[in-house]
Amino acid sequence: MSWKDTPKVELHLHHEGAAPPAFIRQLAHEKKVDLSGVFNDDGSYAFRDFVHFLSVYEAATSVLKTPEDYARLTTAVLEECAANGVIYAESFISPDFCGGRDVEAWKEYLHAIQEAATKAEADHGIVLKGIVTCIRHFGGEWAKETALCAAETKGDFITGFGMGGDENQFTQGTFKWAYDCAREAGLQLTTHAGEWGGPESIRQALDDLKVERLGHGVQVIEDAALMQRVIDEGVTLEVCPGSNVVLGVYPSIDAHPIKRLRDAGVKVTVSTDDPPFFHTTMTREYEMLEQAFGWGQDDFTALNLVAAEAAFCDTATKTKIKKRLEAV
């Protein structure tokens, strides 16, 4: 069956990574930016591996130069999410790309993004919250500035703080100051961990950054004691199966540990990460999970209720989402 219209909650989505290639090409054309090397002949994003993906990502993002560009991006992204049944999404937004970590400039980008999100909610019924995200390979000092941007703008829209980028650079603990700053401001916390850095990266994320969710986190499957800790502490995993397969973390969806994690009692959720880069959508993820593991409506409802519970939003919003999920 098609899972397109099934209501979904998506917790792990990179704002620029969700940009349709045609949207980025159009902006490049308008701004006369040379994006050779970013696209394959068929128009899809071109990359060889994770590190190359990150550099192509940053090249594509370079066409997004103004708050207005981010407003247009937000509209395009939320239309696509809503078309795939997503009723609530959280996206990673970086002051590094939005105003170069200058607080006042960041506020202008944020205003534009939020205005577009409000319109998308009115048009399509989709709710967006923003997770301010530092970029790991940019290092700890820039992350401090990013955290200050996050702390300054914490509110109804900015509810979380996170970290993306190259998990093989630095330690999680390098970013302790930034995470302490974000926590003290009242933001909820997540970080990419256990996509590439193994169980040690997850242990550091829990010990040093005290996050309540893990971006990916799937490599916890390699360490039974750590997995028990993740279960005991109720840490939620933002699992992106299609992304993991395309980037080669696992050779196939059948080999992906999401079912084993769920069966063991780990709180797992499903997201797309950077959907057009990984040739996926939320609908496609559900199709793959149905095919690989025989999951059906009850499984997806349960996964979405876990996601709603772990969402970085107020109780009233959670209740509203859960009602829509349970109405199916």
Q: Does 17 bind ligand HPA (CB under 6 A)?
A: yes
Binding site partner of 57, from Zn ion, ligand HPA, none, Cβ cut-off 5-8 A by kind: ligand HPA
Q: Please give the radius of gyration of the chain, using alpha carbons only, rounded to the nearest integer.
A: 18
Q: Which is nearer to Zn ion, 174 or 272 (CB)?
A: 272
Q: Does 57 bind ligand HPA (CB under 6 A)?
A: yes
Select the residue interacting with ligand HPA from 14, 15, 262, 267 (CB under 6 A). Answer: 14
Four-point Cα dihedral 154, 158, 164, 169, nearest 10: 0
Spatial separation of the C-alpha atoms in residues 207 and 173, rounded to whole Å: 9
Q: Closest-CB residue for ligand HPA?
A: 164
Spatial separation of the C-alpha atoms in residues 233 and 19, rounded to whole Å: 34
Which one of 61-69, 166-174, 253-261, 268-276 is the stretch in contact with Zn ion (CB under 5 A)? 268-276
Please pick, among 195, 200, 222, 238, the residue that the annotation labels catalytic. Answer: 195
Q: Which residue type, as a one-letter code, is found at position 109?
A: Y
CB of 120 to ligand HPA, least distance (A): 21
Binding site partner of 17, from ligand HPA, Zn ion, none, Cβ cut-off 5-8 A by kind: ligand HPA
Contact 26, 102 (CB under 8 A): no
CB of 164 to Zn ion, least distance (A): 5
Size of the site for ligand HPA (CB under 6 A): 9
Binding site partner of 293, from ligand HPA, Zn ion, none, Cβ cut-off 5-8 A by kind: none
Q: Does 274 bind ligand HPA (CB under 6 A)?
A: yes
Nearest to 10 by CA among 56, 77, 67: 77
Select the residue interacting with ligand HPA from 85, 162, 164, 199 (CB under 6 A). Answer: 164
Spatial separation of the C-alpha atoms in residues 247 and 57, rounded to whole Å: 14
CB count within 10 Å of CB 216 equals: 26
Q: How many residues does the chain have?
A: 328
Tell me the β-bridge partners of 164.
Answer: 135
Residue with tokens 């499903």: 270
How far lies 312's CA from each of 132, 154, 164, 297, in Å? 12, 12, 17, 24
Q: Which is nearer to ligand HPA, 3 or 138 (CB)?
A: 138
Q: Which is nearer to ligand HPA, 100 or 234 (CB)?
A: 100
Q: Does 273 bind Zn ion (CB under 5 A)?
A: yes
CB of 243 to ligand HPA, least distance (A): 6
Which one of 37-45, 183-191, 266-274, 309-317 is the stretch in contact with Zn ion (CB under 5 A)? 266-274
Spatial separation of the C-alpha atoms in residues 35 and 43, rounded to whole Å: 12
Contact 95, 146 (CB under 8 A): yes
Residue 41's contacts (CB-CB under 8 Å, 6 or more residues apart) are none
Q: Which is nearer to ligand HPA, 132 or 321 (CB)?
A: 132
30 classed as catalytic: no
Contact set with Zn ion (CB under 5 A): 273
| Residues designated as active site | 195
The residues of the shown chain that bind ligand HPA, judged by CB under 6 A, are: 14, 17, 57, 164-165, 192, 243, 273-274
